[in-house]
Amino acid sequence: MTPVKNEPVLSIKDVSVFYGIIQGLHNVSFDVQKGEIVTLVGANGAGKSTTLRAISGLVKPKTGQINFKGENIVGVPAHDIVRKGLCQAPEGRGIFLNLSVAENMDLGAWAAPDKGAYQANMDKGFQLFPRLKERRKQLAGTLSGGEQQMLAIARALMSQPEVLLLDEPSLGLAPQIIEKIFEIITDINKSGVTILLVEQNALQALQIAHYGIVFETGMIKTHGKASELLRSDEIRKAYLGD
Amino acid sequence: MKNKKQNKNALNPTDPFCGFASLRWWLLAVAVVWVLNSILPDLMGPYYFQILILAGINVILAVSLNLVNGFTGQFSMGHAGFMSVGGYISAYITTQLIVSHPEIMNDAILGSAVFVGSLLLGGLGATCTGYLVGLPSLRLRGDYLAIVTLGFGEIIRVVFLNMDAVGGARGLSGIMQFSSFGWVFTLAIFTVFTVWRVVHSAQGRVLLSIREDEIAATAMGVNTTQGKVRAFAMGAFFAGVAGGLFAHYLTIMSPGTFDFNRSFEIIIMVVLGGMGSISGSVVAAVLLTSLKEALRPLQQLTGVDLRMVIYSLVLITMMLARPSGIFGTREIGDIYRDWRAGKAPKDAKKLKASTPSKGGAA
């Protein structure tokens, strides 16, 4: 659907997902170019998270193809998809509350292709999130919501992903913290990680993204450069609360 | 909050007390066991000695079940099933060998070798069974897994009940009494040591991640089914070994011994000790084994079977007082360290103070 510049790192083609008899996604197709931040925005139940879950292998699409670096990954078990370089920070953070911050990060490195880079990755994570370093021995469950989200992102980075899938990183956080998280997402992207960002907070997501895809009732309503979407009156009215 | 505070030092690989897990100390413990082996039977008298042996076997069962139920968070109710598989296999091997080669009994070393070999084979048999049961059923969660494993335990029991080769309902008798104090406690130490090391390894952290959040674990690239099946098979191995020790102590195997009550007994030890605490399982196994016997005089005194009533009352009271078990998810080392440094309350304060600070709205 996007004009083909070069081979996209992630390409979703005609993907449909069913939950029982209910169709959650209707023939969704889009491409993610290497090095970009692509954001999926839309209301509750529009199919954003389902798309992400289909990509990371947590749900299996009924039809369609998901190509990651030219290889169809539909049907590959979720834990093997991580090894290919596609890592998700799951919705609701999904951190291990009864383990320490450092242990959480260790688990993130479980599927890292290069075990030798463990310490370097750990340092990089702590550099991005100095607060986590202070609290590395603390139980993750004692962190604040914002810190838990930081941990979820830092942990996902431990597996050295080429593409990072972020599911609602702003969920339930204070505006200041959200801003900080979004800044860090931009930094991560600048360091060369392609990011696919699912967000309800469309305005902020589109401000940091290169490309935006607007979902509605399991279908793609519209898509385009993030800056253009932000200017479009129709989009502003429907999704950005103007 | 209270629960989290308890878990604070649950697992920390940089913990200096992990020196506890160094091989030296365990070997020393084994040496002590063998020294005691020659003294204890005369010192204690047969009755107390028997309780001690059964406690040792229960330690193996509880610790190995804790690996599955406590650390991996999969509720298995079929531990007695694995125990009987191991018990029958090893008992069958030794009885058959002794019938065909009676000279084994004349050589103490050869006898021991046959015994340990049969225990290993029994354990491996249980592992295979665990693998076969685990592979399909560990895709289930919570209640469903519990029901499947419960059903498996019953199936095993009925299979042995109808197997003429191992005596059917009459049971398998004429087993040599190979299980000495030395062997039982060497293997109990071996079990605790192995489970301890596994839980504190990277593989162990994978098991914990499965317990904590399966979806997040998958998102981290953890093959959750594989992790669960491994824990299950390993738990089954030790249950099988414990079954072998049990058979070679009581010298008779009957299918009725391994009904679901036996499984429950082990589960109770794990829950009472604390799901996710090896020390808890050890303490609870010893405590419950002795408690049942300690209440016996009461029954003789009153002439009423009050034993199980009081036993249950004790359990109910303990679960009300400490729902997370005696140890929670902590180990004896954590408690010792906190007690020595007297820093447990300070830590709690620090945690409380730091949690709501910045980003408190979040």
The pLDDT value recorded for residue B88 is 94
Chain A residues in contact with B14 (beta carbon < 8 A): 137
What is the third-level CATH fold of A34-57+76-239? Rossmann fold (3.40.50)
**Owning domain of residue B171:** 10-258
For residue A117, give every residue at least 6 positions away whose Cβ sits within 8 Å of its Cβ, in sequence order, or none.
A160
Chain A residues in contact with B220 (beta carbon < 8 A): 82, 87, 107-108, 110-111, 155, 159
C-alpha B128/C-alpha B248 separation (Å) is: 21
The pLDDT value recorded for residue B165 is 85
Residue B24 has pLDDT above 90, yes or no: no
Residue type, position B330, single letter: R
Residue B226 has pLDDT above 60, yes or no: yes
Number of residues written out for chain A:
242
Q: Are B88 and B172 in contact (CB under 8 A)?
A: yes
Mean pLDDT, all residues of chain B: 83
Average pLDDT of B282-292? 92
The pLDDT value recorded for residue B300 is 79
The pLDDT value recorded for residue B341 is 76
- For residue B211 the two structure tokens come to 């317990």
Which of A58, A142, A155 is the best residue to mutate to test the B interface, defined by the most B CB atoms within 10 Å of its own CB?
A142
How is chain A split into domains, by residue range? 34-57+76-239
pLDDT classification of B266: cutoffs 50, 70, 90? very high
Contact residues, B window 223-252, toward A, CB-based 8 Å cutoff: 223-224
3-state secondary structure chain A: CCCCCCCCCEEEEEEEEEECCEEEEEEEEEEECCCCEEEEEECCCCCHHHHHHHHCCCCCCCEEEEEECCEECCCCCHHHHHHCCEEEECCCCCCCCCCEHHHHHHHHHHHCCCHHHHHHHHHHHHHHCHHHHHCCCCEHHHCCHHHHHHHHHHHHHCCCCCEEEEECCCCCCCHHHHHHHHHHHHHHHHCCCEEEEEECCHHHHHHHCCEEEEEECCEEEEEEEHHHHHHCHHHHHHHCCC
pLDDT classification of B21: cutoffs 50, 70, 90? low
The pLDDT value recorded for residue B20 is 53
Residue B8 has pLDDT above 80, yes or no: no
Question: What share of chain B has pLDDT > 70, as a percent?
Answer: 88
Residue type, position A6, single letter: N
Average pLDDT of B272-280? 91
For residue B134, give every residue at least 6 positions away whose Cβ sits within 8 Å of its Cβ, in sequence order, or none.
B228, B229, B232, B233, B236
Contact residues, A window 154-173, toward B, CB-based 8 Å cutoff: 155-156, 159, 172-173
pLDDT classification of B360: cutoffs 50, 70, 90? very low
pLDDT < 70 regions, chain A: 1-6, 239-242
Average pLDDT of B269-286? 92
Q: How many CB pairs under 8 A join A and B?
A: 121
Contact residues, B window 319-358, toward A, CB-based 8 Å cutoff: 329, 351, 354-358
Residue B1 has pLDDT above 60, yes or no: no
Residue B268 has pLDDT above 80, yes or no: yes
Q: What are the tens digits of pLDDT across the range B104-139?
A: 778 888 888 999 999 999 999 999 999 998 888 887
Of A79, A99, A155, the CB nearest to B222: A79
Residue B340 has pLDDT above 80, yes or no: no
C-alpha B89/C-alpha B126 separation (Å) is: 9
Lowest mean pLDDT among B13-17, B110-114, B212-216: B13-17
Place of tokens 């490195």: A109
Where is pLDDT greater, at B81 or B22? B81
C-alpha A52/C-alpha A25 separation (Å) is: 11
CATH number for B208: 1.10.3470
Asked whether residue B114 is domain-assigned, the answer is yes
Contact yes or no for B359 and A110 at CB 8 A: no
